[in-house]
């Protein structure tokens, strides 16, 4: 009984402290208390439920039959909207807090919400080497199934909760993108319910204009109900080489060199200061040297970005063999470095915490959003940066210097990708494929003059000038003219006219840009 009494006493003291301080104070200044006691257990139950559900649905082979029924229901809802006069725009009925995007989707309250309950993997066709999946399938589901049967996606974006629909309608990237491109470039077909309620399939050869216009459109051309995505054979291990590099010019030269080398199946950089970085290159393999195996995904292991930093501090080049799925989700447990830099769990990498509670980490991003409150949201917006800017590789050095000057956030995530010369909102300036790099900045700016709107607009101006692009999940401060200078809207607007989308869906700018919502 003693442990029970101690636990009861601790809970009573905690509740008394919360009552004295006030719930708002605790949520803002001691958020880790709420996260550790409530959100971590709830996140674990959330994951267990959806993992079990996905496993049962796939094993019972009920997904295809249920899929057809659910798509018909979406068509019915759209046709009813049209019969009622189409007085407001439509959007998915998925609550805004469930998305990984940091934006608060206020449009959900004024638009017609269409219920879309599509979260299953429908088919794995190893002959055609494609997987057919519904839009709410997440990357955790995808790796759990595909890796278990010896397959994987060529581009598998990092965080477990990223969904197929979000990665297509927005975008997605991973350390293999220097070979395969963005997530949209490994997709071979989309199925959408359009503004008139019809169901359409599009590929590079069938309804090709729609196929190329869908990525980055953020659900403003139709409702995605399924996608076919390329798969490739998987291997058991990633042979990962860590190389510390010092000096900005040397970092950029080495990173560009490794990114251009197609023998590297994976390339990634973590930049810890203006002149210090670790560049990682990887290869899939079925063989591993036993003394160099590191199962980094185990809950008690150090967070990956801290583990990587050790090679910089020791100034040594090293090789490790990492299980494939562990590598794919190497930044998931710490949500890159957000759990530490945002004080969500500032001591999360402490060995004691990892061994006792690491098995519950990370908290669901959706639950963090749901419980953050207006005060925390405003604090994050004004004193925190989460941005991914896509820059031509040839401008990497000047881009990092600009990030350092305007925001000074470290670590920076560097991820190379090839951008094919194809129609759509995002393509190179010329007629040839071009190597780009995603510079991801997540953290608290260290520059004294930081102002969220002004500083971000400075970065956006630089990105436009070098013909780069800004990921649309984050805060975007561009005005309408600037937005369409950054993105090619010619095909998108053509499709909006042809498919009668103007009354059915908001324009992508109106849906995602802060200037359109203020």
pLDDT in tens, the chain (518 residues): 465 554 465 556 555 655 555 555 555 557 778 888 888 998 888 888 877 877 776 666 666 778 999 999 999 999 999 999 988 999 998 887 777 776 666 788 889 999 998 999 999 999 999 999 999 999 999 999 999 999 999 999 988 889 999 999 999 999 999 999 999 999 999 999 999 999 999 999 999 999 999 999 999 999 999 999 999 999 999 999 999 999 999 999 999 999 999 999 999 999 999 999 999 999 999 999 999 999 999 999 999 999 999 999 999 999 999 999 999 999 999 989 988 876 788 899 999 999 999 999 998 888 888 877 777 777 777 888 999 999 999 999 999 999 999 999 999 999 999 999 999 999 999 889 999 999 999 999 999 889 989 999 999 999 999 999 999 998 899 999 999 999 999 999 999 999 999 999 999 999 988 765 54
**Of 367, 165, 393, nearest in space to 258 by CA:** 393
Q: Which 8-state DSSP code applies to residue 117? A: -
Identify the helix (H) or strand (E) that includes residue 91: strand 90-92
Distance in angstroms (rounded) separating the CA atoms of residues 301 and 294: 9
User: Could you identify the residue written with the tokens 């060529």?
Assistant: 154
pLDDT at 512: 87
Q: What per-residue string of b and e applies to 148-187 under the rule 16 or more CB within 10 Å gives b?
A: eeebbbbbbbbbbbbbbbbbbbbbbbbbbbbbbbbbbbbb
Angle (nearest 5°) at CA 339 between 334 and 342:
155
Distance in angstroms (rounded) separating the CA atoms of residues 300 and 375: 33
Q: Which residues contact 235 (CB under 8 A, 6 or more apart)?
A: 284, 285, 286, 324
Phi-psi region of 142 (alpha: psi -120 to 50; beta: other; left: phi over 0): alpha
**Partners of 202 in beta bridges:** 190
Distance in angstroms (rounded) separating the CA atoms of residues 341 and 332: 15
Q: Which 8-state DSSP code applies to residue 293? A: B
Q: Are 413 and 270 in contact (CB under 8 A)?
A: yes
Identify the helix (H) or strand (E) that includes residue 397: helix 396-406
User: Could you identify the residue written with the tokens 């769990």?
Assistant: 345
H-helix segments, 214-349:
248-260, 304-314, 324-328, 338-341
Distance in angstroms (rounded) separating the CA atoms of residues 217 and 167: 11
Do the strands 434-443 and 385-392 form a parallel or antiparallel pair, or are they unpaired? antiparallel
pTM of the model: 0.91
Give the three-state DSSP class for 358.
helix
**Of 80, 69, 82, nearest in space to 225 by CA:** 69
Tell me what percent of the chain is helix, strand and coil, each rounded to the nearest 5: 45, 20, 35
Do the strands 412-419 and 434-443 form a parallel or antiparallel pair, or are they unpaired? antiparallel
Q: Which residues contact 172 (CB under 8 A, 6 or more apart)?
A: 155, 157, 162, 166, 182, 183, 184
8: tokens are 């009861």
């Amino acid at each position: 009984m003693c442990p029970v009494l101690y636990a009861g006493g601790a809970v009573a003291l905690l509740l008394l402290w919360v009552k004295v301080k006030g719930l708002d104070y605790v949520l803002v200044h001691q958020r880790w208390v709420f996260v550790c006691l409530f959100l971590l257990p709830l996140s674990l139950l959330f994951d267990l439920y959806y993992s079990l559900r996905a496993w049962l649905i796939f094993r019972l082979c009920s997904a295809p039959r249920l899929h057809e029924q659910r798509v018909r229901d979406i068509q019915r809802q759209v046709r009813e909207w049209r019969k009622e006069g189409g007085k407001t725009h439509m959007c998915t009925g998925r609550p805004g807090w469930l998305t990984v995007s940091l934006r608060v989707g206020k449009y959900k309250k004024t638009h017609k919400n269409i219920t879309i309950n599509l979260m299953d993997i429908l088919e794995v066709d190893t002959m055609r080497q494609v997987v057919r999946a519904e839009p709410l399938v997440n990357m955790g589901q995808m790796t759990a199934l595909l890796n278990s049967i010896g397959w994987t996606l060529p581009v598998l974006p990092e965080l477990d909760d990223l969904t197929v629909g979000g990665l297509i309608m927005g975008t997605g990237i991973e350390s293999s993108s220097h070979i395969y491109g963005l997530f949209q470039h490994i997709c071979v077909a989309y199925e959408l319910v359009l503004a008139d309620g019809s169901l359409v399939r599009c590929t590079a050869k069938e309804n090709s204009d729609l196929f190329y216009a869908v990525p980055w459109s953020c659900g403003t051309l139709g409702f995605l109900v399924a996608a076919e995505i390329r798969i490739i054979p998987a291997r058991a291990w990633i042979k990962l080489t860590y190389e510390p590099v010092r000096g900005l010019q040397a970092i950029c030269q080495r990173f560009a060199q490794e990114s251009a080398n197609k023998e590297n199946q994976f390339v990634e950089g973590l930049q810890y200061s203006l002149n210090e970085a670790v560049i990682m290159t990887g290869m899939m393999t079925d063989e591993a040297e036993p003394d160099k195996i590191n199962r980094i995904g185990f809950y008690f292991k150090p967070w990956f970005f801290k583990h990587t930093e050790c090679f910089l501090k020791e100034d040594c080049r090293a090789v490790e063999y990492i299980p494939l799925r562990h590598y794919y989700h190497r930044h998931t447990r710490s949500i890159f470095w957000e759990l530490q830099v945002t004080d969500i769990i500032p001591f999360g990498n402490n060995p004691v915490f990892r061994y006792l509670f690491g098995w519950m980490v990370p908290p669901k991003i959706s639950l963090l959003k749901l419980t953050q409150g207006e005060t925390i949201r405003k604090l994050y917006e004004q004193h925190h940066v989460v941005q991914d800017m896509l820059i031509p590789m040839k401008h990497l050095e000047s881009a990092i210097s600009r990030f350092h000057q305007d925001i000074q956030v470290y670590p920076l995530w560097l991820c190379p990708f090839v951008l094919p010369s194809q129609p759509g909102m995002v393509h190179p300036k010329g007629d040839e494929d071009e190597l780009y790099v995603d510079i991801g900045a997540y953290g608290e700016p260290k520059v004294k003059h930081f102002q969220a709107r002004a500083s971000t607009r400075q970065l956006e101006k630089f990105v436009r000038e070098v013909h780069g692009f800004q990921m649309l999940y984050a805060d975007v401060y561009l005005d309408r003219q600037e937005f369409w200078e950054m993105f090619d809207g010619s095909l998108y607007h053509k499709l909006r006219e042809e498919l009668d989308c103007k009354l059915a869906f908001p324009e992508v700018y109106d849906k995602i840009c802060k200037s359109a919502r203020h």
